[in-house]
Amino acid sequence: MKPIIFDVDTGIDDALAMSYALNSPELELLGFTTCFGNVSVAEATRNTLAVLEKVGKRIPVYPGAEQTFIRGEKEGWSKHVHGEDGLGNTLKKDPISQPESQFAPEFIIEQVKNRPHEITIIAVGPLTNLALAIKIAPEIIPLVKEVVIMGGAVKVPGNVNAYAEANIIADPEAAEYVFSSGLQVTLVGLDVTMQTLLPKSTLNEWRATGKETAHFFADMTEFYIGYYESYYPGIGGCALHDPLAVGVAIDSSFVSAESMNVKVATEGEEAGRTVGHLAGEPRIRVCTEVEAERFLKHFLNRVV
């Protein structure tokens, strides 16, 4: 099994990615770390605990950054994308379980030092927790086996504006710090995630199972597809951004990648843009192609 620390800003596709990871025997989930992004860090923590209760799993959840790495700004949440509660307005009651008291970056440091060269970090929100962890303890950088990041848009337009993808623009300084650190990064950006569309017809298939968890995920995903249809008319589904990062951690053959030096714009109109350069170090594995149908089948066989 591959030991995983899963960093989330639980929103709808984070929740789908959580279920996919939890139903994948290849992965050993050591803990979830939460960050602001789609919602506040308190809401992301609540949502992560709620999803774990819904799917009947007990994995520790470590609250993380509530504001950005350098500027200390609080993100304007993506309520129009993920709903007022971050889960497509499906949350009927708060979870009973409580998060851990340890700060997320400290958990990351402790786990990587305990299991050097073993741990894969999957990061599907702003990169603030990871940036804080390697700033506090730069000695862990060579000890992290791999970081699989959902973020960025290198050869395609962004999804917040023409340049920037949501996770990167939420904290550009954190992303630049991580990309320039020397961590072994695989970047699962919009270049590939926008090719992994979940068809709207899936929702009725999930509901037809009669499983409560399937109804839970169908209801939240219906909200998410509603946003996609308003932003991309006729798309007929939604992109599986965060689930694809999990898929790549399970089986990297779902994608092909080019090694690039990725710089993040932190100022001006292009803030949050991820620019790939073939010259210079460090090298980031930028995913440029995906076997979308094979990945979608794998995801659907496990998620609910």
Q: Which residues ranging from 228 to 287 are in contact with Ca ion (CB under 5 A)? A: 242
Q: Which of 9, 13, 14, 242 is catalytic?
A: 9
Residue 14 or residue 176: which is nearer to Ca ion going by CB?
14
Q: Which of 13, 85, 191, 241 is catalytic?
A: 241
To which residue do tokens 């991580």 refer?
178
Please give the structure tokens belonging to residue 167: 């996770």
User: Taking CB under 6 A as the rule, does residue 11 contact ligand RIB?
Assistant: yes
User: Taking CB under 6 A as the rule, does residue 266 contact ligand RIB?
Assistant: no
User: Taking CB under 5 A as the rule, does residue 85 contact Ca ion?
Assistant: no
User: Taking CB under 6 A as the rule, does residue 9 contact ligand RIB?
Assistant: yes
Q: Which residues ranging from 161 to 190 are in contact with ligand RIB (CB under 6 A)? A: 165-167
User: Taking CB under 6 A as the rule, does residue 237 contact ligand RIB?
Assistant: no
CB-CB contact of 123 with 150 (8 Å): yes
Residue 298 binding target from ligand RIB, Ca ion, none, CB below 5 to 8 Å by type: none
User: Taking CB under 6 A as the rule, does residue 37 contact ligand RIB?
Assistant: yes
Residue with nearest beta carbon to ligand RIB: 166
Mask of contacts with Ca ion, 5-24, x by CB under 5 A?
----x----x----------
Q: Which residues ranging from 114 to 133 are in contact with Ca ion (CB under 5 A)? A: 124-125
Q: How far apart are CA 247 and CA 296, in angstroms?
A: 9
Q: How near is the Cβ of 131 to ligand RIB at its closest, in Å?
A: 16
Q: How far apart are CA 205 and CA 266, in angstroms?
A: 43
Q: How near is the Cβ of 16 to Ca ion at its closest, in Å?
A: 10
Residue 84 or residue 205: which is nearer to Ca ion going by CB?
84
298 is catalytic: no
Residue 46 binding target from ligand RIB, Ca ion, none, CB below 5 to 8 Å by type: none
User: Taking CB under 5 A as the rule, does residue 170 contact Ca ion?
Assistant: no
Which residues are near Ca ion by CB under 5 A?
9, 14, 124-125, 242
**Residues labelled catalytic:** 9, 241
Which residues are near ligand RIB by CB under 6 A?
9, 11, 13-14, 37-38, 124-125, 150, 159, 165-167, 241-242
